[in-house]
């Protein structure tokens, strides 16, 4: 039976499981609905201030790619020799002429020097909304306006220097450089009363039961984790990305741990606010945030977890049949999120970041997508593993291009297609595990196949590439890289058990395993895993269970909006021996991976 899917974001996918109705208190129709789209968007207050983050064209893209690969390739002498913050920034520095030209343009436009900050790859400027509108010949609405299109509003002689401009309305009295300390929040609470489920608290795990409901105990059994918990090391930190107003609830975490992970009762998370983000406690939209936080804390127990709540909306997307109205819909504000992480001091940077959000790759302007991807690459050079859910759309939903040609094609998801992240597909059941029908995968239209994928994907395409020839880019970066369980996860949301599906569940599970591997490496004096993919495709894939059962499906003739869309009969990717574009290398075996990662 096809699973429900949210109309945007793709990954906060929550369903009701009939099999649980008799056994557990389940919240009916738990799928959280977003607020109704605004019929009218308010104009921004002309007297308020707006921050412009101006992205500069780097002098060289090759330097980042070469350096990241050398640091991440286990056969390289530079393997594991990660860079400092300043060293990483230098890989994407613009030409000196570019920075000087942009700062001169701002100065001549009357922007005071103390309202301009040179961040290397970005120049940040603060000015009144009215002033910014005059400068860029545009009108801001609720602080939003085109990102790449704003770059087209600058003088002609600057267009070769600027790739994107990202605006953000200033809220309150925040400064251009808010202190990090003021944005980190922690909360502790007393352990909740005993509400444990006996069948999973006595050390026994019924794998038959795990076919229809997933708990931390199921995952520990399936992935050979046992009772391995982190020490933890002082360097360890696991980050969870939050967008769309999702609020991670401390009391829901307490209840979840009391029911499904009693060994972790009392564990908690800190919160860091980015770009005006918030994390209020109470009755707020929280399904995705609770899922991500509850499972990272349970699976990576004792590794500190930090929730990065990022505010803002990016309305500068290229409409397609799935997400079509920039006035009412938006994509995640990737630039403020990743920019914030890159600015963190080395000792405050998470070694693993789990991201459960995304959108059709074609909906993100290519220049913007590449900039964000490059910044993920910079994180990799600093030893950060960026783990991204591959999406819940199979080969695609609307399956039509948005370039004006209306070409019928498969639609991969961003940021999973970025070659500098590790993308995670979804499986279900056990004995054997099989691919879920919603697990997104395929081949990027923006990025060519990287060197570390060349051999394995070449073999895959030789055997299976003809089936959907013409619907995908055979020379593109293949996704996903790996997979993990993604169906029937039990979470606690709004006080009740809420089953959840999606690769948004798979990503935090795999991110937790990477965090545990890092912790083991720290104990041995080794650096963190960092950018995983060269290691994964060369060595790490030997620590995975190959999934050869199941397939994805999509292109069924209807878009998310309900509009007619191209139908491709039988469209989908099959799970086959070796790497495939629905489960990647398969699902992790922790006992094998810790040997491969630590020796």
**Is residue 535 assigned to a domain?**
yes
Choose one of 169, 201, 223: the last residue of a domain: 169
**Is residue 42 assigned to a domain?**
no
The answer on 498 and 567 residing in a single domain is yes
Choose one of 169, 199, 218: the last residue of a domain: 169
Q: CA 385, CA 527: separation in Å to the nearest integer?
A: 12
The answer on 417 and 355 residing in a single domain is yes
Q: Backbone phi, then psi, for 43, in 5-degree steps?
A: -70, 145
**Is residue 524 assigned to a domain?**
yes
The predicted pLDDT at position 369 comes to 95
Find, among 81, 69, 76, 73, the residue nearest to 535 by Cα: 73
Place of tokens 């609770």: 290
**Is residue 39 assigned to a domain?**
no
Q: Is residue 519 marked as binding?
A: no
**Is residue 563 assigned to a domain?**
yes
Find, among 527, 382, 420, the residue nearest to 85 by Cα: 382
Q: Is residue 546 marked as binding?
A: yes
**Is residue 37 assigned to a domain?**
no
The answer on 284 and 342 residing in a single domain is yes
Biggest distance spanned by C-alpha atoms of the chain: 71
Q: CA 32, CA 36: separation in Å to the nearest integer?
A: 12
Q: Which residues are catalytic?
A: 288, 292, 504
The predicted pLDDT at position 567 comes to 98
The answer on 192 and 161 residing in a single domain is no
**Is residue 477 assigned to a domain?**
yes
The answer on 258 and 139 residing in a single domain is no
Query: CA dihedral in degrees (433, 437, 443, 447; nearest 10)?
Result: -90
The answer on 337 and 298 residing in a single domain is yes
The answer on 306 and 432 residing in a single domain is yes
Q: Backbone phi, then psi, for 388, in 5-degree steps?
A: -130, 135
Whether 147 contacts 365, CB under 8 Å = yes
- CA angle, 344 as apex, 341 and 350 as ends, to 5°? 65
Whether 479 contacts 390, CB under 8 Å = yes
Q: What CATH number corresponds to the domain at position 111?
A: 3.30.70
The answer on 371 and 515 residing in a single domain is yes
Q: Is residue 331 marked as binding?
A: no
What are the residue ranges in the chain where pLDDT is below 70? 1-47, 141-151, 170-203
Whether 385 contacts 530, CB under 8 Å = yes
The answer on 248 and 141 residing in a single domain is no
The answer on 251 and 123 residing in a single domain is no
Q: Which helix (H) or strand (E) holds 100?
A: helix 96-108
CB neighbour list of residue 119: distance below 8 Å, 6 or more residues apart: 339, 343
pTM above 0.85, yes or no: yes
The predicted pLDDT at position 47 comes to 60
The predicted pLDDT at position 20 comes to 37
The answer on 280 and 198 residing in a single domain is yes
Q: What CATH number corresponds to the domain at position 385?
A: 3.40.50.200
The predicted pLDDT at position 424 comes to 98
Query: CA dihedral in degrees (595, 596, 597, 599; nearest 10)?
Result: 70
Expressed as residue numbers, the domain containing 456 is 183-598
The answer on 259 and 120 residing in a single domain is no
**Is residue 281 assigned to a domain?**
yes
Number of domains the chain is built from: 2
Q: Is residue 194 marked as binding?
A: no
């Amino acid at each position: 039976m096809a699973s429900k899917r949210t109309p945007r974001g793709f990954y906060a996918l929550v369903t009701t499981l009939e099999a649980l109705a008799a056994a557990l208190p389940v919240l009916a129709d738990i799928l959280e609905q977003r607020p109704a789209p605004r019929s009218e968007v308010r104009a921004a207050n002309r007297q308020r201030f707006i921050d412009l983050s101006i992205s500069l064209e780097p002098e060289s893209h090759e330097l980042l790619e070469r350096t990241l690969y050398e640091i991440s390739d286990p056969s390289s002498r530079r393997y594991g020799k990660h860079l400092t913050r300043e060293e990483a920034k230098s890989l994407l520095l613009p030409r000196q002429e570019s920075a000087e030209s942009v700062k001169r343009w701002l100065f001549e436009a009357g922007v005071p020097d103390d309202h301009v900050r040179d961040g290397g790859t970005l120049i940040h400027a603060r000015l009144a909304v009215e002033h910014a509108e005059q400068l860029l010949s545009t009108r801001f609405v609720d602080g939003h306006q085109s990102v790449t299109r704003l770059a087209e509003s600058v003088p002609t002689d600057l267009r070769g220097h600027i790739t994107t401009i990202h605006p953000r309305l200033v809220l309150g009295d925040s400064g251009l450089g808010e202190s990090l300390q003021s944005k980190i929040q922690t909360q502790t609470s007393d352990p909740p009363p005993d509400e444990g489920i006996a069948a999973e608290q006595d050390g026994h795990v019924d794998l038959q039961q795990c076919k229809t409901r997933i708990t931390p105990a199921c995952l520990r059994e399936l992935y050979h984790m046992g009772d391995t918990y982190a020490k933890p090391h002082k360097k360890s930190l696991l980050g969870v990305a939050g967008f769309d107003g999702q609020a991670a609830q401390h009391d829901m975490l307490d209840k979840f741990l009391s029911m499904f992970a009693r060994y972790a009762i009392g564990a908690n998370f800190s919160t860091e606010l980015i770009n005006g983000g918030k994390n209020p406690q109470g009755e707020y939209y929280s399904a995705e945030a609770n899922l991500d936080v509850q499972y990272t804390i349970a699976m990576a127990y004792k590794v500190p977890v930090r929730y990065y709540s990022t505010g803002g909306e990016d309305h500068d997307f290229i409409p397609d049949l799935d997400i079509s109205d920039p006035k009412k819909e938006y994509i995640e504000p990737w630039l403020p999120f990743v920019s914030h992480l890159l600015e963190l001091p080395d000792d405050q940077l998470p070694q693993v970041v789990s991201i459960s959000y995304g959108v059709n790759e074609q909906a993100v302007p290519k220049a913007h997508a590449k900039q964000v991807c490059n910044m993920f690459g910079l994180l990799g050079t600093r030893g950060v593993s960026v783990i991204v859910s591959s999406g819940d759309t199979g080969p695609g939903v609307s399956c039509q291009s948005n370039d004006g040609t209306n070409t019928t094609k498969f639609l991969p998801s961003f940021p999973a297609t970025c070659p500098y992240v590790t993308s995670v597909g979804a499986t279900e059941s056990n004995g054997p595990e099989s691919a879920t029908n919603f697990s997104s995968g395929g081949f990027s239209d923006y990025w060519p196949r990287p060197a570390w994928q060349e051999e394995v994907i070449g073999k895959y395409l030789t055997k299976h590439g003809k089936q959907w020839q013409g619907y995908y880019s055979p020379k593109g970066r293949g996704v996903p890289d790996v997979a993990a369980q993604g169906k029937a996860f039990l979470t606690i949301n709004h006080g009740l058990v809420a089953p959840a599906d999606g690769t948004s569940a798979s990503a935090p599970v795999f991110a937790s395993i990477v965090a545990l591997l890092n912790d083991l490496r720290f104990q041995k004096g080794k650096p963190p895993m960092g950018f995983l993919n060269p290691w994964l495709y060369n060595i790490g894939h030997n620590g995975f269970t190959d999934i050869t059962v199941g397939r994805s499906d999509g292109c069924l003739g209807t878009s998310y909006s309900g509009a007619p869309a191209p139908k491709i009969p039988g469209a989908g990717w099959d799970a086959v021996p070796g790497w495939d574009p629905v489960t990647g290398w398969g699902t992790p075996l922790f006992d094998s991976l810790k040997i491969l990662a630590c020796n």
